[in-house]
C-alpha cells in the first residue's frame, strides 16, 4: 500500500515539477496505471484486514481488559499461552483437527476418485450435487444438524439401539473422551466431498498414455494407483491439503455451536478461546496474542505445504 502511494506521489511530482521527455513520462505513467486499478482493492484489504491484524499484534503486548487502562506486558501474553494448559490445549486441538479435516477426507477422496475414474457412471451428476452440498451450507447450520444428530436422545443413539449396540449409546457431546472426535467427524463430513471432487477432476487431466504405459508394463491396479495416479495428482493433493488445513485451524462455527469448547476444555479451539478471552474473561491482550500465534502457525503450515509440493515438479 505504502509503495503504491509513494509511487503515485513520485510520478505526480516528476510530471509537474521536473518533466522528463514527454515520451518517457508517458511511458512511465502507463507503467503505473495498473497500480491505480489495484489501489482501491488494496486499500480495502489494508484497512480491514492488514491494519486490524497489526492492531492485534500491538494489543498482544499489553495487559488490557477491553475497557480500562492498558499496561505494557511485553511478551507476558505469549508466555501465558505456553503456560496455560487450556490455551495450549486449544492449539493442540486445532492441529488435531487436521486429521479430521484433511488427512481422512483426502484418503477417502483419493480412493473414491481412483475407483470412480475407472468406472464411469450415469448417476455421477446426482452424486456430485449431493456430495458438494456441505461446502455451501452455513457452518453454523451444519453444527446445528450434527448437534441434534449426536444428542442424547438423537438419531445417532437411536441408530445404535436399532442395531443392538445400546451399550455404546451416550451423550456424545457431553462426554470428555468422545466430544472431540464427534466434533471432528463434522469436519470430515464437510471436507470429504470437496477433496473427492478436486482429486476426481485432477485424475481426468492425467495423460492417459501414462496409464497405457503402466499397463503395457503389466502393472496391477494398485501399482498404477501409487505410481501414476498419486504422482499425477500432486498439485490437486497440495491444494486439497492447503484448503482443508486452513479450515481446520480456523474452525470456530461448528465448535461454538456444538459444544462451545466443552465439556471442560475438551473441545476448546483457538477461535472459541479468543472469543471467550475477549468477551467473558476480559483478557483482550491474551486473546490477541493467541490470534497472532494462530495466524502465524496457519501461514507457516501453508508455506510448508507449498514448499513440500513444489520441490519435485
Partner 1 sequence: MIRSLTRLSLLAATASVLVPFYAILAASLQPQDNLSPGLAWPSDPQWHNYVDAWSTGGFADLMRSSLIIALGVVPLALVLATLAGYGLAMMRLAVRGPIFALLMLGLALPYESIVIPLYYDLKSIGLLNTYWAVILPLIGAFMPFGVFWMRSHFESLPPELTEAAEMDGASSRQILREVLLPTARPALTTLGLLYFMWAWNQFLLALILIQDPAMRTAPSGLGKFIQAYGRNIPLLSAGTIIVIVPVVILYLFFQRHFVKGILSGAIK
Q: Where in 67-106 is the site for partner 1 (CB under 8 A)?
A: none
- For partner 1, the binding residue among 9, 20, 86, 159 (CB under 8 A) is 159
168 binds partner 1 (CB under 8 A): no
Supply the DSSP string of the chain, one letter for each residue: -HHHHHHHHHHHHHHHTS---HHHHHHHHHHHHHHHHHHHHHHHHIIIIIHHHHHHHHHTTEE--SSS--EE-TTHHHHHHHH-HHHHHHHHHHHHHHIIIIIHHHHHHHHHHHHHHHS--TTHHHHHHHHHGGGTS-HHHHHHHHHHHTSTTSHHHHHHHHTT-GGG---GGG-TTTHHHHHHHHHHHHHHHHHHHHHHHHHTTS-HHHHHHHHHTT--HHHHIIIIIHHHTHHHHHHHHHHHHHHHHT--HHHHHHTTT-STTTT--HHHHHHHHHHTS--HHHHHHHHHHHHHHHHHHHHHHHHHHHS--
Which of these ranges, 14-22, 164-172, 176-184, 293-301, lies near partner 1 under the rule CB under 8 A?
293-301
Judged by CB under 8 A, the residue of 77, 102, 191, 192 near partner 1 is 192
Does 169 bind partner 1 (CB under 8 A)? Our answer is: no
Which member of 84, 151, 175, 265 binds partner 1 (CB under 8 A)? Answer: 151
Nearest distance, CB of residue 158 and partner 1, angstroms: 4
Query: Using the rule CB under 8 A, is 239 a contact of partner 1?
Result: yes
Q: Which of 5, 13, 95, 132 binds partner 1 (CB under 8 A)?
A: 132
Least CB distance to partner 1 at residue 271 (A): 4
When asked if residue 9 is in the footprint of partner 1 (CB under 8 A), the reply is no
The residue from 92, 158, 304, 308 that contacts partner 1 (CB under 8 A) is 158
Does position 22 interact with partner 1 (CB under 8 A)? The reply is no
Amino acid at each position: 500500500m505504502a509503495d503504491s502511494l509513494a509511487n503515485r506521489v513520485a510520478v505526480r511530482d516528476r510530471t509537474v515539477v521536473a518533466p522528463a521527455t514527454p515520451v518517457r513520462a508517458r511511458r512511465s505513467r502507463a507503467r503505473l496505471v495498473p497500480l491505480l486499478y489495484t489501489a482501491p482493492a488494496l486499500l480495502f484489504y489494508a484497512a480491514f484486514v492488514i491494519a486490524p491484524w497489526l492492531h492485534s499484534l500491538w494489543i498482544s503486548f499489553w495487559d488490557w481488559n477491553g475497557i480500562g487502562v492498558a499496561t505494557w506486558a511485553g511478551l507476558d501474553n505469549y508466555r501465558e499461552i505456553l503456560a496455560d494448559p487450556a490455551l495450549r490445549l486449544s492449539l493442540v486441538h486445532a492441529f488435531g483437527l487436521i486429521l479430521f479435516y484433511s488427512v481422512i477426507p483426502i484418503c477417502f477422496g483419493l480412493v473414491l476418485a481412483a475407483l470412480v475414474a475407472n468406472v464411469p457412471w450415469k448417476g455421477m451428476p446426482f452424486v456430485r450435487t449431493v456430495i458438494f452440498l456441505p461446502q455451501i451450507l452455513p457452518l453454523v447450520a451444519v453444527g446445528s444438524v450434527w448437534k441434534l444428530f449426536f444428542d442424547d436422545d438423537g438419531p445417532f443413539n437411536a441408530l445404535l439401539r436399532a442395531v443392538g449396540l445400546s451399550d455404546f449409546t451416550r451423550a456424545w457431546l457431553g462426554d470428555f473422551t468422545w466430544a472431540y472426535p464427534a466434533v471432528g467427524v463434522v469436519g470430515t463430513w464437510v471436507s470429504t466431498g470437496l477433496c473427492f471432487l478436486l482429486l476426481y477432476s485432477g485424475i481426468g487431466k492425467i495423460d492417459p498414455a501414462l496409464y497405457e504405459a503402466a499397463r503395457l508394463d503389466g502393472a496391477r491396479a494398485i501399482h498404477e494407483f501409487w505410481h501414476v495416479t498419486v504422482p499425477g495428482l500432486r498439485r490437486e493433493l497440495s491444494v486439497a491439503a492447503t484448503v482443508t488445513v486452513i479450515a481446520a485451524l480456523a474452525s470456530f462455527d461448528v465448535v461454538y455451536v456444538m459444544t462451545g469448547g466443552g465439556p471442560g476444555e475438551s473441545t476448546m479451539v483457538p477461535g472459541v478461546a479468543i472469543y471467550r478471552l475477549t468477551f467473558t474473561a476480559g483478557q483482550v491482550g491474551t486473546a490477541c496474542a493467541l490470534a497472532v500465534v494462530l495466524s502465524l502457525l496457519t501461514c507457516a503450515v501453508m508455506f510448508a505445504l507449498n514448499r513440500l509440493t513444489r520441490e519435485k515438479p
